[in-house]
């Protein structure tokens, strides 16, 4: 059995794959879906009010129920309307782990991945030198 077919066999048994017409469609069972009632203007208004009142629940509700692409739209609209960076405004209203999570949610996917890889490599190389 060649390596590719073994990998395919193993992956086919995972719940990540869905059989469609005899072929496997990878990634069809993801949990992050576009928010159907998405309205960047409305979300922005809720966020501005939540930031002003330091309403952590409202901030979490909006940002964790939107896809990264939707969050990027909200971020751009925030900057265009307020002439401020949304991350800085949210950082002033949040702290600790919640602030780190929200800042991660605001980053574009590639930037977030690069940041996490950099942190992981720093941790790896900060350990004792191999002998």
Alpha helices in 29-85, H assignment, sequence order: 40-52, 56-64, 68-82
pLDDT at residue 129, as a whole number? 57
Token pair of 119, please?
């942190």
pTM of the model: 0.67
**In the chain, where does DSSP find H-type helix?**
3-12, 40-52, 56-64, 68-82, 86-93, 96-106, 109-126
Q: What pLDDT is stored for residue 121 in this prediction?
A: 84
Q: pLDDT of 80-117, one tens digit each?
A: 998 989 999 998 889 999 999 999 999 998 999 899 88
Positions in the chain short of pLDDT 70: 1-5, 11-31, 123-131
Give backbone dihedrals phi and psi of 68, rounded to 5 degrees, phi first: -60, -40
pLDDT at 120: 85
Question: What DSSP character marks residue 11?
Answer: H
Q: What is the per-residue pLDDT for 15?
A: 56
For tokens 């496997």, the residue is 24
Give the pLDDT confidence score for residue 128 in this predicted structure.
61
Report pLDDT for 37.
86
Cα–Cα dist 71/36, whole Å? 14
Select from 1.10.220.10, 1.10.760.10, 1.10.3720.10, 1.10.287.540 the CATH code of 40-113.
1.10.220.10
Give residue 48's pLDDT.
93
pLDDT at 34: 81
What whole-number distance in Å separates Cα of residue 87 and Cα of residue 105? 10
């Amino acid at each position: 059995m060649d390596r590719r077919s073994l990998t395919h066999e193993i992956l086919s048994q995972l719940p990540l794959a869905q059989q469609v017409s005899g072929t496997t469609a990878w990634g069809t069972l993801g949990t992050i879906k576009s928010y159907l009632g998405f309205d960047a203007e409305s979300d922005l208004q809720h966020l501005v009010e939540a930031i002003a009142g330091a309403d952590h629940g409202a901030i979490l509700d909006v940002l964790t129920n939107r896809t990264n692409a939707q969050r990027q739209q909200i971020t751009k609209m925030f900057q265009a309307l307020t002439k401020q960076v949304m991350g800085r405004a949210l950082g002033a209203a949040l702290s600790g782990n919640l602030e780190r999570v929200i800042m991660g949610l605001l980053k574009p996917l590639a930037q977030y991945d690069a940041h996490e890889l950099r942190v992981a490599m720093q941790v790896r190389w900060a350990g004792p030198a191999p002998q």
